[in-house]
Amino acid sequence: MHTILYPTKDKWEGITGRPHIDASQLCENVSAILSEIRKRGDEAVKEYEEMFDGIRPEQLAVTEKEMAEAERLVSPELAEAIATAHHNIRKFHESQRFTGNKVETMPGVECWQKSVPIEKVGLYVPGGTAPLFSTVLMLATPAKIAGCRDIIMCTPPARDGKINPAILVAARIAGVSRIYKAGGVQAIGAMAYGTETVPKVYKIFGPGNQYVMAAKQQVGIADVAIDMPAGPSEVCVVADASATPEFIAADLLSQAEHGTDSQVLLITTDRHLISNVEKEIKQQLENLPRKEFAEKALDNSKAVLVETLDEAMELVNAYAPEHLIIQTENYNETAEKVINAGSVFLGKYACESAGDYASGTNHTLPTHGYATAYSGVNLDSYCRKITFQHLSEQGVRSIGRAVEIMAAAEQLDGHKNAMTVRIEHINR
């Protein structure tokens, strides 16, 4: 990690920047792949699967036989852990149900909202270097609670042509309707446009690398809605002298092992903590099977020493982290200063892993600074709010003249007339 001591505000932009690749070339490559998926459907998806994942699936759809085999392969211990996580995720998201209230804005004018599920949703679950079956639970559980009619999922197969059995078991527990063997840009294109096998959906959910994020943004312009821009993962830890270096090092490494383009950031008011955390990182790194990924991610990462916790939180809000861990003596007080963050973990025992798997909160969160404007996935992500209004004769009397005046001022005589004919009808 790069250590930065007492940076002035004019240096903050460099601290809060994310690692990236040439976006122009990336977007060209993504656009070319999406174009082929749109034109050639299944055949193009299979070709890109062979090119990028090293396997050409005979068929894209996962069969019932494959689902049954997966259930036999997953250990009872893992199946129980998945069920526990699903229970907590369901419980937390069920608490988010919307209750609409009728409001009488003026006598005779009633307005209200109704929450309606999105009928067809597509879930993207990365495969890559780790089988993220936890993401299946995070995406499918709220979709099922919301009442989405068709929940389809795309995830890349391994080189043996199979999907990790834990992913399939999690999909069944969480209520996924259909599963397809497709990853990366080709999966996003298949769900956005539809192919002979993969149905077109109305909204796409799920994290991924910069190519997946670019694909989601491109199809989101005109073809399908998306949850949020969600690229390489990141964590920020804010700590003071009361923090435990062993815990902080573990938290930083748990994020760094995601991939070489992940980023971790430590902001502290205690200079000794930085050196103690670095020692712990070196020790713990030796025991990580994904050591190579973590080391490269740490090259993109920083430890920043600041004067006060107020300054630390100001820097946090400028960074807008996907995950924010607060290990300070008065963490509740510090948390009051959070403005921009995806998900926040309070106290020394609230590791990010808890939220990633089983506390119940959702781990599909805005990255790359998008926490300034986006929420993480929640029950509302799978719903639309339809507004209703009813006017009685009294309602027309209450607001009719205001509508006429405003429509006339905007020179929209048709709008004015729609109200005028009703006023005249009532006054006859």
Residues at the binding site for NAD(+) are 124, 186, 209
Known binding residues for Zn(2+) are 255, 258, 356, 415
Phi-psi region of 206 (alpha: psi -120 to 50; beta: other; left: phi over 0): left
Find out whether 334 and 297 touch, Cβ atoms under 8 Å. no
Catalytic-residue membership of 86: no
DSSP calls for 192-251: HH--SSSPP-SEEE----HHHHHHHHHHHHHT-EES----S-EEEEEE-TTS-HHHHHHH
Six-digit token pair at 403?
């509508």
Interatomic CA distance for residues 407 and 194, integer angstroms = 42
Catalytic-residue membership of 322: yes
Known binding residues for substrate are 233, 255, 258, 323, 356, 410, 415
Six-digit token pair at 284?
């713990």
Identify the active-site residue in 49, 234, 280, 323: 323
**Count, residues in the chain:** 428
Identify the active-site residue in 278, 322, 352, 368: 322
Known binding residues are 124, 186, 209, 233, 255, 258, 323, 356, 410, 415
Interatomic CA distance for residues 364 and 206, integer angstroms = 7
Segments of 50-181 assigned E as strands: 103-106, 109-117, 120-124, 150-155, 178-181
For helices 165-174 and 133-146, angle between their N-to-C axes, nearest 10 degrees: 10
Per DSSP, the three-state class of 303 is: strand
Tell me which residues are annotated as active site.
322-323
